[in-house]
Structure 1
């Protein structure tokens, strides 16, 4: 414990001012032998707590912050999903288009599940829907919401699909009454980029079959996040 106390004393002094310190100066200030201070400073340099300016002078680098592991902060889309998921108390999914070369047009980009954020869902595998999952374009609410926001001339399909997309354009949302692959019953709205192009789709789980009030409430919350 004595060696730890000495090291912390040197570290505190090294961080007192934003300037290089000489070994002799530090040793005199903290009351330790120069060789002891030199060994401590060498250890600090090895762990990113100090940097050597020249043969006999050292400066604090990142201080105690260097001992902390890096914190992964949610990206902007994940932060929005976390807020929407908590507000709705249910699964919320963001889907985005993929490069055509991959063979998939849409995939799940981020997920939030109630009080759990997107990163936590990924870590726990707590939801059936995970980032990277493929999204059905024509069968899922997310896929149809995305298609409805594309230029009409770019979308082809059966008469039933085209008629469905016309209704979605009129109402502003899509929904599916039954699960599709890993996706549950969902309602979804298009997500647009700043230039007005379609950037993906945002959807939320529906928990009450046939409830128009629930559908309207969820759509209103989703639109506040796009």
Structure 2
């Protein structure tokens, strides 16, 4: 019972504030030895209740939503993005097609930023410069490529502009289809370096893309893995019935 009590104490503290904790900070907050807290966190990570979001940084995962008495179907996109941005400690962006349908097929869709959330208040991270309504490059940005990658190549590739970037775009889309995500190593317009995944509706149709900022400098595989885990879970939540509101008409 003592072990269970300790574990629940750690879980309650993680769930109390919507931000990442360092192991030492968490140990001090709950009054337990650092090694004990670390073992508890590893166990929670294995069961999907806690996410590791950096070097020795942990936060409450979406698996706790049921314990909080809420479900993914009751939260809107803004709420989900705010929670995701706070847990990851970085900017997250939701992009979707603009109000006008694509006249030339999905490959000509115009994407725009639908919602954006930054790190939790009080974080030392820079505030996001991207804002709702900003255009999203369909072919150059991680958000655009993640969106396109969810459609069959036959629907997309024929509509790509015949330019010097066509080969690179086709290669990037091929990788995104194989891995399930896209990323850009450089900022694109107002968007930072990002990793992104498609967001599908209840019928499996792609209606948006969800991305998170990557830290400056060289992109580490571990960083992408950590961010991708949270993004994939967030995209699944957005795929719940309320996400149908994201669906805009797309070109035939």
TM-score, length basis structure 2:
0.54
Which whole-Å CA distance do the structure 1 matches of 2:75 and 2:128 have between them?
A: 19
Match of 2:173 in 1: 165
Which whole-Å CA distance do the structure 2 matches of 1:187 and 1:147 have between them?
A: 14
Q: How does 1:78-157 map to 2 (within 5 A)?
A: 78-100=78-100, 105-115=110-120, 127-156=128-157, 157=160
Match of 1:195 in 2: 203
Query: Is structure 2 residue 219 aligned with structure 1 residue 210?
Result: yes
Match of 1:221 in 2: 230
Over residues 56-88 of structure 1, what are the superposed CA-to-partner deviations in whole Å (9 max), with x where a residue is unaligned?
xxxxxxxxxxxxxxxxxx961011101110110
Secondary structure of 1:100's partner?
A: coil
- The change in CA–CA distance for 1:215 and 1:176 in structure 2 (over 3 A counts) is same
Unpaired runs of at least 5, structure 1: 1-73, 117-125
Which whole-Å CA distance do the structure 2 matches of 1:153 and 1:99 have between them?
A: 24
How much has 1:101 moved relative to structure 2? 5.4
Q: CA RMSD in A?
A: 2.0
Match of 2:27 in 1: none
Which runs of structure 1 show a deviation greater than 2 angstroms over 4 or more consecutive aligned residues? 99-104, 156-160
Where relative contact order (Cα < 8 A, 6+ residues apart) is larger, the structure is: 2
Larger radius of gyration: 1
Match of 1:32 in 2: none
Over residues 91-146 of structure 1, what are the superposed CA-to-partner deviations in whole Å (9 max), with x where a residue is unaligned?
00000111335896110000110115xxxxxxxxx531000000000000000000
Which whole-Å CA distance do the structure 1 matches of 2:119 and 2:220 have between them?
A: 20
Which whole-Å CA distance do the structure 2 matches of 1:172 and 1:160 have between them?
A: 18
- The change in CA–CA distance for 1:167 and 1:132 in structure 2 (over 3 A counts) is same
